[in-house]
């Protein structure tokens, strides 16, 4: 199984390490050409969503990513900034980037760096998981076709729609690999579907 991790900015190394611990072939995506090869899944990591969005546009990667995710059905996991990149709408100023999941997100909803925190909450299909939030967004609204998978203080912090899985938190910053295994299961089911 070959999974690409967007490596333009942000915390991509931890995702690669987590995937490799699960025996997945993880590789960095840094150029438009890296999107052309065979891949079974894609991770958009945390970082600075505005910077990542600008780099995607400057490097000519936005449309290719949209095509692979929406048109091609490539399974994708977006964590924190990755969730913002995948959202159809963003609360406040700023336009959406990839629009792959029918949610509206609020950037930095939990506050700035000093508002970062760690908690544990139930994740549908997994059970309680450790969650690390760093200047994290949350989901303001979700369309009916979006399945909410986890909430913290009543706010949705994980969701899924078809091939897109998003989390407000950073599952790669813990030793618990169940969110990544959940994503790999989505990939496996997609590969079995004709």
CA distances from residue 119 to 56, 131, 134, 148, 174 in whole angstroms, order as listed: 32, 5, 12, 18, 11
Q: Is 55 exposed, middle or buried (0-12, 13-18, 19+ CB in 10 A)?
A: middle
Asked if 171 contacts 182 with a C-beta cutoff of 8 angstroms, the reply is: no
Q: How far apart are CA 179 and CA 172, in angstroms?
A: 9
Whether residue 80 lies in the annotated active site:
yes
* Dihedral sign (CA 150, 170, 40, 22): negative
Q: Which residue of the set 14, 15, 36, 80 is catalytic? A: 80
180 tagged catalytic: no
Is there a catalytic annotation at residue 170? yes
- From 14, 15, 172, 180, active-site residue: 172
Considering 14, 15, 170, 180, which one is annotated as catalytic?
170
Give the contacts of 105 (CB within 8 A, at least 6 positions apart).
83, 84, 87, 89, 90, 91, 137, 138, 139, 140
Q: Which helix (H) or strand (E) holds 164?
A: strand 164-167
d(CA 115, CA 10): 18
Tell me which residues are annotated as active site: 80, 170, 172
């Amino acid at each position: 199984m070959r999974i690409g991790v967007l490596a333009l900015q942000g915390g991509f190394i931890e995702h690669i390490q987590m995937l490799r611990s699960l025996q997945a072939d993880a590789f960095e995506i840094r150029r438009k050409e890296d999107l052309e090869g065979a891949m079974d899944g894609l991770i958009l990591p945390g970082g600075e969503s505005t910077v990542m969005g600008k780099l995607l546009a400057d490097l000519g990667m936005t449309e290719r990513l949209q095509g692979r995710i929406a048109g091609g059905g490539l399974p994708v996991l977006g964590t924190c900034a990755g969730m913002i990149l995948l959202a159809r709408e963003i609360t406040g100023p700023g336009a959406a980037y990839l629009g792959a999941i029918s949610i509206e997100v609020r950037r930095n909803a939990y506050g700035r760096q000093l508002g970062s925190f760690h908690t544990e909450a139930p994740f549908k299909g997994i059970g309680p998981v450790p969650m690390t939030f760093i200047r994290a967004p949350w989901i303001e609204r979700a369309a009916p076709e979006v399945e909410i998978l986890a909430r913290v203080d009543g706010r949705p912090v994980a969701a899924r729609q078809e091939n897109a899985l998003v989390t407000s938190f950073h599952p790669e910053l813990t030793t618990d690999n169940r969110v990544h295994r959940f994503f790999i299961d989505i990939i496996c089911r997609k590969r079995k579907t004709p």
